[in-house]
Amino acid sequence: MSKVACIGECMVELKQAEGAEAGLYSRGYGGDTLNTAVYLARLGAGADYITALGDDRLSDEMIAGWAAEGVGTAHVVRLPAKLPGLYMIETDDKGERRFFHWRDSAAARSLMDLPETPEILDALASYDVIYLSAITLSLYSPEGRARLFAALNRARDNGARFAFDTNFRARGWPDLDVARSVFQEAFTAADIVLASTEDLLPLYPGVTNEALLARIPGAEVVLKLSEPASIVRLEGVPYPIKAKPVEAPVVDTTAAGDSFAAAYVAARLAGADPLEAARAGHRLAGVVVCHPGAIIPRAEMPSGLIPNHVHSRKASP
């Protein structure tokens, strides 16, 4: 089984309780790379989650929930007297979401500065794919990011592929010049870039899709568009991909990009070419947005998402 390391942060999630009066919320857990890890595990990839949590009951519940989904937790560091972060979701009548975060002292922010950090970073070389997002990179200090990028380069020298998701939240990047610099470093290091115009236009306003793609030097790049479509660029050649229309009502766009990334990476690991993988990503995302919250019920996972004819062979770099 192929192995994927997902690095990032999972937080306590508060969302409006279904059918409840205003002000009543249900509690769950979520985070962009954690959502991707869960969907990867459901799609048959061996996904491990790499993060730091506290020693509290909420952190215990998180780890138990990840294990129940088949996500590996061997590289989760537990920090005494620390807590996970918290976020609240508001959704409008079109399913678009707005996030409110309480996370400045969350345990995950310390991951690159711990006594356990060198061992965790050395372990990255044992994975087939290392997946993280711009939100992941926003958690760490410049020194922590430098340690992580150095480890990514060592892992790539050992045969791992680095997949970078441009998931951008302005709150995590108070200095946009720093954000642009970090993004460029990630673009240069990544083997696969999963980008979107929604993420990149706040950093590079007013530019065309072609200009956004030109900023990313990698050989395998997916640019998701504002409409249900994407552009897959392979070795400099762009290929437009149209998503099938979503027939059910869109109720919550949370984790649309996270689920796209999971289906894309899982399909590539199974042997699909990037165009097939992008179609799989669009299909899963189209199901996810029709359900509230980041993780849909397991029974609602679409069947046959990964093309059957590729299961027996591994994707080429």
What are the residue numbers of the active site? 258
Per-residue CA distances from 152 to 147, 158, 189, 193, 220 (Å) = 9, 10, 8, 14, 17
If you ran DSSP here, which 8-state letter would residue 301 be given? S
The DSSP annotation for 197-254 comes to HHHHTTTSTT--HHHHHHT---SEEEEE-SSSEEEEEETTEEEEEEPPPP-SPP---T
Are the C-beta atoms of 182 and 137 separated by less than 8 Å?
A: yes
Q: Which amino acid is at 88?
A: M
Hey, what's the torsion of the CAs at 243, 247, 250, 253, to 10 degrees? -20
CA–CA separation, 7 vs 57, rounded Å? 22
Read off φ and ψ for residue 150, nearest 5 degrees. Answer: -60, -40
